[in-house]
Amino acid sequence: MIPIRTVRRTMRWLAACVMWTVGPTDLARRHLRRRGAVVVLALHRVLEDWQLERTNSLSGIVLRRITFSRLAEWLSRRYQVVDLGRGPSGPTPGQLRVAITFDDGWHDTCAVALPVTSALRLPITVFVCPGLLAKDRPFWPERVVAALRANRPGATEAEIETIVEDLKYRDPAERDATLSREGQPEAASHPAGSADRTLSWGQILTMHRTGVTFGAHTQTHQILTAVDEGVAASEIRESRVALESALGMSCALFAYPNGNHSAATRALLADAGFTEAFTMKRGAWMATSDPLAIPRVNLAEDDITGPGGRFSRAMFEYMVFWRVWRTSRASAPAQ
């Protein structure tokens, strides 16, 4: 029996192909361009095939290197890719503006993704957690997934995703208790072979010198709406101080862990000196957008590939521009 997830993915791809052929996705792209939009793409991990076998990151934050390479090539030919470190430039006639961002500061952002974007001269922005740099499996979701896979071999990916999603909003002590109950597999004895490491400060400085823009993602990846205000303020402030000290320049860009924000957290960001902050709410960055709640579009492998696993331009256009345009229309004020 064909898994329902595969059926849904195939149906979505067929719908994307029809819309690509008939023209609605092109219409959506033109509307966004005329409104001066910037569509900000949110990525997390770009992995080689061997790393896919070793990672404990869930599929919702992973792209294969070959998929990312084809996506980057498509963006370089079709769109104006803007550098957030310099602020969105004026639109080029006939081209829609996009921006490429990476969250968390994974080692593969430097080792796998950067060679692709550098070859095509595409600017990227990377949001990092200074307190979690140069570590193996520093984020609790990977540790939970590793424990569940080791101790519940019959658990499906969907079941593991549900457990991780539930734990996001629980007290850190509850997450630690879950790990204690499940047991934690030993980390890789050779960190150089681990798939789940974060960037080192040395890599960040090297990337910075080549033109990569860096922003803060809190100090230790706390979901700001799930901790008290004092903790949130410290997470925000300490992340900015650490980056500015290391890079020797102002850090004004921020990305909310999990995209979660509120009026209170936005006020804390403003007090800390951040001028632009990025969410995970699907939408386009318009002149009317709140600069401390800028929408982004999360991308993972299933979002932009067809049934055969190859990058699909039709799927990308549908999942990004058609859905962004539809969301922008729904949220636009009545005339």
Q: Give me the tens of pLDDT residue by residue for the chain, a chain 335 residues long.
A: 666 777 888 898 999 999 999 989 999 999 999 999 999 999 999 999 999 999 999 999 999 999 999 999 999 999 999 999 987 666 666 789 999 999 999 999 999 999 999 999 999 999 999 999 999 999 999 999 999 998 888 888 889 999 999 888 887 777 778 778 776 655 443 344 579 999 999 999 999 999 999 999 999 999 999 999 999 999 999 999 999 999 999 999 999 999 999 999 999 999 999 999 999 999 999 999 999 999 999 999 999 999 889 999 999 999 999 999 998 876 655 44
The predicted pLDDT at position 184 comes to 62
Cα(296)–Cα(61) distance, rounded to whole angstroms?
Answer: 14
pLDDT recorded at residue 334: 46
* Other Cβ atoms closer than 10 A to 304: 25
- Please tell me the predicted confidence (pLDDT) of residue 333: 52
Model pTM score: 0.93
Domain ranges of the chain: 4-29+37-135+196-324, 137-186
Give the span between the Cα atoms of 191 and 194, in whole angstroms.
5
Structure tokens at 122: 């595409």
Tell which residue, 228, 193, 243, has the closest CA to residue 51: 193
* Distance set, CA 316 to CA 67, 71, 95, 121, 192 (Å): 11, 8, 16, 21, 33
pLDDT on residue 86: 86
What is the rounded distance in angstroms from the CA atom of residue 223 to the CA atom of residue 217?
Answer: 10
238-267 burial code (b ≥16 CB/10 A, e <16): bbbebbeebbeeebbbbbbbbbbbeeebbe
The pLDDT score that the predictor gives to residue 331 is 65
d(CA 63, CA 290): 29
CATH number assigned to the domain covering 4-29+37-135+196-324: 3.20.20.370
Identify any residues that bridge with 253 across adjacent strands, giving them in sequence order: 276
- pLDDT score recorded for residue 104: 98
Q: How far apart are CA 273 and CA 233, in angstroms?
A: 12
Specify the 3-state DSSP secondary structure of 203: helix
pLDDT of residue 230: 97
Amino acid at 260: N
